[in-house]
Structure 1
Amino acid sequence: MSGRLARGGRVVAALLAAVACQTAPARAAGPPPDSTTHATGVVTWAASADLMGEGTAGQGYRLIVHTSVGGSDLRVRFTNAFGDRPLTLAGVHAGLRETGAALRPGSNRPVTFGKVPTVTVPAGAVAWSDPLPGRWPAGADLVVSLRTPDAAGPASGHWMAMQTSYTGGGDHTAEESGAAWTRTTGSWWYLDAVSVRPADRATGAVVALGDSITDGWQSTTDLNRRWPDYLARRLGALGTPVRGVANEGISGNKILADGAGQSALHRLDRDVLSQPGVRTLFLFESVNDIKAHTGVTAADLAAGYREIARRAHAAGMCVVAATIGPFKGWPEWDPAAEAVRQDVNRFLRGSGDFDAVTDFDRILRSPYDPTRILPFLDGGDHLHPNDKGMQALADAVGTGSLDCGR
Structure 2
Amino acid sequence: MALVVAAICVFASVSVSPAPVASSAGAHEVVTWGASADRVGDALPDRSYRLIVRTSAAGTGARIRLSNAFGDRPITFGSTYAGIRKVGAALVPGSNRRLTFGGSRSVTVAAGQTVHSDPLPGRLPAAAALVVSLHVAQAGGPATGHGMAMQTSYTTSGDHAAEEGAAGWTERTGSWYYLDAVTVRASPGTGAVVALGDSITDGWQSSTGLDRRWPDYLARRLQATDSTAIKGVANEGISGNKVLADGAGQSALNRLQRDVLSHPGVRTVFLFEGVNDIKAHSGVTAQDMIAGYREIVDRAHAAGKCVVGATIAPFKGWHEWDAEAEAVRRQINEFIRTSGEFDAVTDFDRTLRSPYDSERMLPSFDGGDHLHPNDKGMQAMADSVAIDSLTCHRRRS
Fold-level similarity (TM above 0.5): yes
- 1:208-223 matches, within 5 Å, as 208-223=195-210
Within the candidate set 96, 100, 106, 2:94 is matched to: 106
- 3-state SS, counterpart of residue 381 of structure 2: helix
Instruction: Tell me the amino acid that sits aligned with residue 198 of structure 2.
Output: D
Instruction: Tell me the amino acid that sits aligned with residue 217 of structure 1.
Output: W
- 3-state SS, counterpart of residue 288 of structure 1: helix
Within the candidate set 136, 141, 155, 1:153 is matched to: 141
Q: In the alignment, which residue of structure 2 is the partner of 1:178? A: 166
Q: Deviations over 1:49-81 (max 9, x none)?
A: 001111111110000001011110000001001
The answer to whether structure 1 residue 294 and structure 2 residue 276 are counterparts is no
> Structure 1 residues 292 and 255, CA, compared in 2 at 3 Å: closer, same or farther?
farther
1:340: Cα distance to partner?
Answer: 0.3
CA–CA distance in structure 2, aligned partners of residues 249 and 391 of structure 1? 17
CA–CA distance in structure 1, aligned partners of residues 265 and 191 of structure 2? 5
Instruction: Tell me the amino acid that sits aligned with residue 55 of structure 2.
Output: T
Within the candidate set 274, 292, 313, 1:325 is matched to: 313
Q: In the alignment, which residue of structure 2 is the partner of 1:203? A: 190
CA–CA distance in structure 2, aligned partners of residues 84 and 136 of structure 1? 34
- 1:340-379 matches, within 5 Å, as 340-379=328-367
- 3-state SS, counterpart of residue 233 of structure 1: helix
Within the candidate set 230, 236, 244, 1:242 is matched to: 230
The answer to whether structure 1 residue 231 and structure 2 residue 218 are counterparts is yes
CA–CA distance in structure 1, aligned partners of residues 53 and 75 of structure 2? 22
1:294: Cα distance to partner?
Answer: 2.1
Q: In the alignment, which residue of structure 1 is the partner of 2:323? A: 335
1:292: Cα distance to partner?
Answer: 5.0
CA–CA distance in structure 1, aligned partners of residues 164 and 124 of structure 2? 17
Q: Deviations over 1:100-151 (max 9, x none)?
A: 0011111100000001011111111111101001011110110000111111
- 1:119-198 matches, within 5 Å, as 119-198=107-186
CA–CA distance in structure 1, aligned partners of residues 282 and 316 of structure 2? 18
CA–CA distance in structure 2, aligned partners of residues 90 and 186 of structure 1? 23
Question: For the Cα contact (< 8 Å) 2:280–2:324, is it kept in 1?
Answer: no
Q: In the alignment, which residue of structure 1 is the partner of 2:3? A: none
CA–CA distance in structure 2, aligned partners of residues 54 and 201 of structure 1? 41
The answer to whether structure 1 residue 395 and structure 2 residue 375 are counterparts is no
TM-score by length of 1: 0.89
**Aligned residue-pair number:** 366
Question: For the Cα contact (< 8 Å) 2:343–2:392, is it kept in 1?
Answer: yes
1:293: Cα distance to partner?
Answer: 2.4
The answer to whether structure 1 residue 315 and structure 2 residue 307 are counterparts is no
- 3-state SS, counterpart of residue 149 of structure 1: strand
CA–CA distance in structure 2, aligned partners of residues 137 and 96 of structure 1? 11
Give runs of ≥4 in structure 1 deviating > 2 Å.
none
CA–CA distance in structure 2, aligned partners of residues 375 and 133 of structure 1? 48
CA–CA distance in structure 1, aligned partners of residues 321 and 177 of structure 2? 33
Question: For the Cα contact (< 8 Å) 2:280–2:321, is it kept in 1?
Answer: no
Instruction: Tell me the amino acid that sits aligned with residue 156 of structure 1.
Output: T
Q: Deviations over 1:343-375 (max 9, x none)?
A: 000011111211001000000000000000000
- 1:25-104 matches, within 5 Å, as 41-104=29-92
Q: In the alignment, which residue of structure 1 is the partner of 2:244? A: 256
Percent identical across equivalent pairs?
Answer: 69
Q: Note the aligned Cα RMSD (angstroms).
A: 0.7
Q: Deviations over 1:20-64 (max 9, x none)?
A: xxxxxxxxxxxxxxxxxxxx6100000000011111111100000
Q: In the alignment, which residue of structure 2 is the partner of 1:385? A: 373
CA–CA distance in structure 1, aligned partners of residues 364 and 137 of structure 2? 48
CA–CA distance in structure 2, aligned partners of residues 188 and 225 of structure 1? 17
Q: Deviations over 1:171-198 (max 9, x none)?
A: 2111111110011000000000000112
- 3-state SS, counterpart of residue 249 of structure 2: coil
- 3-state SS, counterpart of residue 138 of structure 2: coil
CA–CA distance in structure 2, aligned partners of residues 45 and 386 of structure 1? 22
Question: For the Cα contact (< 8 Å) 2:280–2:322, is it kept in 1?
Answer: no
- 3-state SS, counterpart of residue 41 of structure 1: strand
CA–CA distance in structure 1, aligned partners of residues 120 and 138 of structure 2? 26
CA–CA distance in structure 1, aligned partners of residues 379 and 132 of structure 2? 27
Instruction: Tell me the amino acid that sits aligned with residue 131 of structure 1.
Output: P
Q: In the alignment, which residue of structure 1 is the partner of 2:18? A: none
